Amino acid sequence: MVQADSPAAAADGAQPPTPARGLARLARLGLSWRRGWIIAALALLVAVLLAFHAELPNGFGNLGSLLETFLPWLGLAVPVLLALGVWRRSATALVAVLLPTLLWFNMFGGLLTDKSSGKGDFTVLTHNVAAANTDPAGTVKLLNASGAQIVALEELAGSAVPTYANGLAAKYPHHVVEGTVGLWSTYPIEDVAVVDIKIGWTRAFRAHVTTPKGPLAVYVAHLPSVRLKFDSGFTAGRRDVSAQALGDAIEAEPVKKVLLLGDLNGTMNDRSLAPITSQMRSAQGAAGDGFGFSWPAGFPMARIDQILSKGGLTPTDSRVLDADGSDHRAVAADYRY
């Protein structure tokens, strides 16, 4: 028997792989396992935050929810760390960067593909039009041209309600406004009821909408705003209480097919919205193309304006509309009943 390291094997040109030869090849490429340990550690930290974001406690400053609001942006660390690893010619760093890369694509890669499946039976839209909207007439024009049959508006200033009511009346003969939220529809609206989301004034309601395909329970909601403060962190307590109240109302809804349209001031990744997101499906996640970020309008960084459904409604397309006079962008989705 000829041994792998025998002279005969060497004569045949066979060079079995050994750690020493592997290190020699890396050395010829200019890569070293001895450099870049700090870069590798940072790559592992990013991987840990991606993989275990749900374990980051919310007890202090709601840090977990803050991270989850902007979770996809952790992916920006990957090309930076990769470039640093190449610059340091560190094999250790380059191997370590593979872990957050794979995790990020596993979590968010599906959002990068177009999942639309054609036109649905009807189109819905939600838009935080902003109390300080700089161009309400332009927003009315945007809404009328959207092709939506059901339109939910949030943050309606009292003085602006006539502008929207008059501007949308021709296309949307049915509408209701409760507090600072409203619903416009080409289909009849009935059985409107305010939903108490525990903030002391009206920012949510439920309505029965009769489409040609059948009935819908449509919830319109604007959950309390969140703030990032130096001394107290991510202040989202009031929003979280409202999310629980809204989730309880939707869970008790007797109509089978349910839509939720509104500004939830949170993303689908945010654990604090679980009372809602655990029972509903995101149109963007199921039928969108890209991340669908809606806020802030000038440079969207998060999807906090949501179109969610339950009860067998099938989203066939989801999209973000162009910026208007609001600090949010409108989002729309097509549904098959």
Q: Give the predicted TM-score (pTM) of the model.
A: 0.88
Nearest to 122 by CA among 329, 314, 319, 330: 314
Percentage of residues of the chain with pLDDT beyond 90: 84
pLDDT at 7 over 80: no
328 backbone φψ class: left, alpha, beta (φ>0; ψ -120 to 50): beta
Q: Which residue ranges form the domains of the chain, and what is each CATH number?
A: 17-112 (no CATH), 122-336 (3.60.10.10)
12 pLDDT more than 60: no
Contact 275, 244 (CB under 8 A): yes
Residue of 284, 336, 333 whose CA lies nearest to 113:
284
Condensed to tens digits (0 to 9), the pLDDT of residues 175-202 reads 999 999 999 999 999 999 999 999 999 9
Give the SS3 label for residue 189: strand
Q: What three-state secondary structure class fits 272?
A: helix
| pLDDT band, residue 26 (cuts 50/70/90) | low
The rounded distance, in Å, linking the Cα atoms of 329 and 331 is 6
User: Residue 60: pLDDT band by 50, 70, 90 thresholds?
Assistant: confident
Residue 28 pLDDT more than 80? no
Token look-up 């509903």 returns 280
CA triplet 316, 322, 328: central angle to 5 degrees? 95
Give the confidence band of 17 by pLDDT, cuts at 50, 70, 90. low
Predicted local distance difference test score (pLDDT) of residue 111: 94
| Region 120-149 average pLDDT | 98
pLDDT at 30: 75
Closest CA to 67 of 247, 215, 270: 270
Does residue 304 register a pLDDT over 90?
yes
Q: Which of 12-21, 151-160, 163-172, 313-322 has the lowest mean pLDDT?
A: 12-21
Average pLDDT score over the chain: 92
Q: What angle is formed at CA 161 by the lines to CA 158 and CA 164, rounded to 5 degrees?
A: 155
Q: Is 47 helix (H, G, I), strand (E, B) or coil?
A: helix
pLDDT of residue 8: 44
Band the pLDDT of 9: cuts 50, 70, 90.
very low
Amino acid making up residue 95? V
More confident residue, 55 or 4: 55
Per-position DSSP letters for 156-177, written without gaps between them: --GGGHHHHHHHHTTT--EEEE
DSSP assignment of 295-331: BSSSS--B--EEEEEESS-EEEEEEEPPP-SSSS--E
Evaluate whether 209 touches 186 at the Cβ level (below 8 Å).
Answer: no
pLDDT at 102 over 60: yes
Angle, in degrees to the nearest 10, between helices 91-108 and 77-88: 160
Give the pLDDT of residue 11: 44
**What's the rounded mean pLDDT across residues 70-81?**
98
- What is the mean pLDDT of the segment spanning 319-334? 98
Res 15: pLDDT: 55
**Cis? peptide before 296, omega within 30° of 0:** yes
* pLDDT value at residue 266: 96
Residues ≥6 apart with Cβ < 8 Å to 155: 128, 129, 130, 131, 180, 222, 263
Q: Is pLDDT above 70 for 249?
A: yes
- Residue 102 makes CB contacts below 8 A (sequence gap 6+) with none
Q: Which of 20-29, 65-74, 145-154, 235-244 has the lowest mean pLDDT?
A: 20-29
Residue with tokens 């869970």: 251
316/335 Cα distance (integer angstroms): 6
DSSP state string for 79-114? HHHHHHHHHHTBHHHHHHHHHHHHHHHHHHGGGGS-
SS3 assignment, position 229: strand
Type of residue found at 206: R
Question: β-pairing, 305-310 with 314-320?
Answer: unpaired
Closest CA to 198 of 157, 158, 239: 239
Angle at CA of residue 258, ends 320 and 146, nearest 5°: 30
Give which of 321, 289, 294, 322 is closest to 306, Cα–Cα: 294
Q: What is the pLDDT of residue 148?
A: 98
